[in-house]
Amino acid sequence: MDNNELWGGVLREIELAVSKANFVTWFNNTSIVDRSAYSVTIATPNPFVKEWLEYKYHKHIMKSLRGLDPDVRTVEYVISSASVMGAKTALAKPPAAPPAETEEQLGFTEFAVDPQTNLNSRYTLNNLIVGSFNELAYAAALAVVKNVGTLYNPLFIYGGVGLGKTHLLHAVGNEIKQQRPTTRIKYVSSELFTSELVSSIQNNETEGFKERYRQNDVLLIDDIQFISGKVKTQEEFFHTFNALHGANKQVVFSSDGPPKSIQHLEDRLRSRFEGGMIVDINEPEYESRLAILKTKLAEKKQQLNQEILEQIAAYVESNVRELEGALNAVVAHQAHSPQRALNQNEVREILAKNSAPKRSLTATQIIKTVAEFYDVNEKVLFEKTRRKDIVKPRQICMFLLREDFNGSYPYIGQKFGGRDHTTALHAYEKILNNLKNSEQLAGEIKQIRNILYKRH
């Protein structure tokens, strides 16, 4: 293994274990500049990074290096010549001391990727929140842990982004490792898996590749959909899979959709994927979203009042990652005004800023879509009638004009037949409130949004 490959391997492991920001800050522009039989010298761009790598990341770097090259005994950090100028300036004016952040903030507690297995100890079954959206996948994962290689093989878990597939794969590995420490487990992203496979094909050592993978008792392959269209890879993978499966090795896949949705996939491979157990993870419904927020908040040892949590749960419908992002944003803002709780408007603004930009809609589009959805005459929505079948779509219009169009209450009231702004406010709150109790209503609004944003 040459220096680049070795360092590339280390970086890939570290990247899995730290936040993106930490990775970029501390590992960009690093390389191995020198290597003797037992010692590796790592070049860093400046004294600050050098110090930080020595101080905080040394253990992990060492572990990772030795996982790839067991001969490594010592590691040295130097400032690369390209940065010496920077270093001199820095000497004249010492770099600021590292910010006094907690280990948690810096992500060091995330630091627990085992170089042997690639498993990240941060993802466990214990800290996986289970709700109706993922209970099937969770149950299947538990069954695999109890019956490694014999019950559901392969287990194929699919679902949209940010719904916990990667988390679940690591959790399965970590749990098996904990219950049976001698089990040989490997987690790979399908990109890493395919790139290793491709280089083994190029080097004519697919046998060796197969052998290495066959040594594992459990193979966890994340995001298998990326194998789409790679003909040669699929062919070789088919044989590798058969070898593993034939030897009762447990294989778990994750994918963004069911096997039949993966484009350009060989039929025989598709039928292998379908040959075990297939489970999906759905988008969490309101109750689960609230549970997720509460649990994550407790993990962060932070507090927010119940109304705020409910508002976040009502607003963020997509996935766990977005929920956590929204929660973090609100927590950060709340920290700036510790004396009083954020009010509904403030929270709404934070959420709007934090969420992915929505397609810009016009008020007319919203009203027209809602009217069509409930099969009512658009014009009647603007009249004063209090007929139940009209009041509901009207309130939903107002709600969406507020949430998705960012209309002011006076504007919305005006729009609907010159009503007072409190009518709009009341409608907004009514719907927000009902959303919490009615899956039916939540489903309808989701459906309307799908139409508005032309999502399938």
Binding site for ligand ADP (CB under 6 A): 123, 127-129, 134, 159, 161-167, 320-321, 324
C-beta of 268 vs 300, nearer to ligand ADP: 300
Contacted entry of Mg ion, ligand ADP, none for residue 12, CB cut-off 5 to 8 Å set by kind: none
For Mg ion, the closer CB: 158 or 409 = 158
Q: Which does 394 bind (CB under 5 to 8 A by kind): Mg ion, ligand ADP, none?
A: none
Cβ proximity to ligand ADP, 163 vs 435, nearer residue: 163
Minimum CB distance to ligand ADP smaller for 175 or for 324: 324
> Cα–Cα distance between 282 and 209 in angstroms, integer?
35
Torsion angles phi and psi, residue 451, rounded to 5: -65, -45
Report the chain's C-alpha Rg in angstroms.
27
Q: What is the DSSP letter of 54?
A: I
Q: Residue 108 CB, nearest distance to Mg ion (Å)?
A: 22
Cβ neighbors of 357 (< 8 A, separation 6 or more) are none
Residues that bind Mg ion (CB under 5 A): 165-166
- Kindly tell me which of 32 and 188 has the beta carbon lying closer to ligand ADP: 188
We find the least distance from the C-beta atom of residue 234 to ligand ADP, in angstroms, to be: 22
Residue 163 binds what, of ligand ADP, Mg ion, none (CB under 5 to 8 Å, by partner type)?
ligand ADP
In this complex, which beta carbon is closest to Mg ion, that of residue 161 or of residue 298?
Answer: 161
Supply the minimum distance, in Å, between the C-beta of residue 248 and Mg ion. Answer: 26
- Given the complex with ligand ADP, which of 165 and 419 has the nearer CB atom? 165
Q: Output the CA–CA distances (angstroms, integers) from residue 17 to 225, 254, 359, in the order listed.
A: 23, 19, 34
- Give the residue with the Cβ less far from ligand ADP, 14 or 445: 14
Minimum CB separation of residue 165 from Mg ion in Å reads 5
Question: Using CB distances below 5 to 8 A depending on partner kind, what does residue 164 bind out of ligand ADP, Mg ion, none?
Answer: ligand ADP
Question: Shortest Cβ distance from residue 420 to ligand ADP (Å)?
Answer: 42
Say which residues have a Cβ less than 8 Å from residue 263's Cβ, sequence separation at least 6: 228, 229
Closer of 123 and 193 to ligand ADP (Cβ): 123
Residue with tokens 């990667």: 166
Q: Which does 167 bind (CB under 5 to 8 A by kind): ligand ADP, Mg ion, none?
A: ligand ADP
Count of other CB atoms within 10 angstroms of residue 321: 14
- Among Mg ion, ligand ADP, none, the one that 162 touches (CB under a kind-dependent 5 to 8 A) is ligand ADP
Q: What is the DSSP letter of 303?
A: -
Single-letter code of the amino acid located at 438: S
Q: Which residues does residue 252 pair with via DSSP β-bridges, in sequence order?
A: 155, 220
Q: In what helix (H) or strand (E) does residue 159 lie, and over which residues does it extend?
A: strand 155-159
| Cβ-closest position to ligand ADP | 164
Task: State the binding partner of 161 from ligand ADP, Mg ion, none, CB within 5 to 8 A by kind.
Answer: ligand ADP
Tokens of 326: 């929204």
3-state helix, strand, coil in the chain (%, to 5): 60, 10, 30
| Shortest spacing between CB 201 and ligand ADP, in angstroms | 27
Encoding tokens for residue 323? 């929920």
Q: Least distance in Å: CB of 213 to Mg ion?
A: 20
| Measured distance CA(394)–CA(407) in Å, rounded | 15
Closest among 115, 111, 107, 103 to 72, alpha carbons compared: 115
Minimum gap (Å) between residue 446 Cβ and Mg ion:
23
CB of 216 to ligand ADP, least distance (A): 21
Q: How far from each other are the two terminal CA atoms of the chain, in whole angstroms? A: 47
Provide CB contacts within 8 A for 344, sequence distance 6+.
307, 311
The type of residue at 60 is H
Q: How many angstroms separate the CA atoms of 452 and 371, rounded?
A: 12
